[in-house]
């Protein structure tokens, strides 16, 4: 059974009166804990700057490894953001400062 199906089953049991509100909340919390962290969160937690494939700080290569998108696409995106408003530099510098090396 999928996560959604399990959650729907718990909701149905609560609606029928088979589960009290407290039992429902505990079962729901247990189900959510068993599910684990969502994929975007775990990908973000695994974000590291690259030591081997870097031009400046390794930010784009690190994002490429975490997202599965080629590094040159990320580099192009940052250059475009820099040219249209300058936000690419700010974002890149913040990532360079706060994202650790691999």
* Each residue's pLDDT tens digit, 19-43: 888 888 888 888 887 766 556 555 5
The pTM of the full predicted model, rounded to 2 decimals, is: 0.55
- Average pLDDT over the chain reads 82
Helix (H, G, I), strand (E, B) or coil at 51: coil
* Each residue's pLDDT tens digit, 84-97: 888 888 888 888 88
Q: CA 73, CA 76: separation in Å to the nearest integer?
A: 5
Task: Quote the pLDDT of residue 65.
Answer: 84
Instruction: Determine the average pLDDT of the residues in 40-67.
Output: 77
Helix (H, G, I), strand (E, B) or coil at 14: helix
Going by C-alpha positions, the residue among 67, 14, 5, 15 that lies closest to residue 35 is 5
């Amino acid at each position: 059974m999928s996560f959604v199906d399990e959650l729907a089953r718990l909701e149905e049991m609560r609606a029928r009166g088979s589960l009290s509100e407290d039992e429902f909340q505990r079962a729901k919390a247990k189900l959510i804990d068993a599910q684990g962290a969502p994929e975007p969160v775990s990908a973000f937690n695994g974000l590291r700057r690259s030591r081997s494939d870097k031009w400046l700080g390794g930010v784009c290569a690190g994002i490429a490894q975490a997202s599965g998108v080629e590094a040159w696409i990320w580099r192009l995106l940052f250059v475009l953001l820099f040219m249209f408003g300058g936000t690419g530099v700010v974002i890149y510098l913040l990532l360079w400062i706060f994202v650790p090396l691999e």
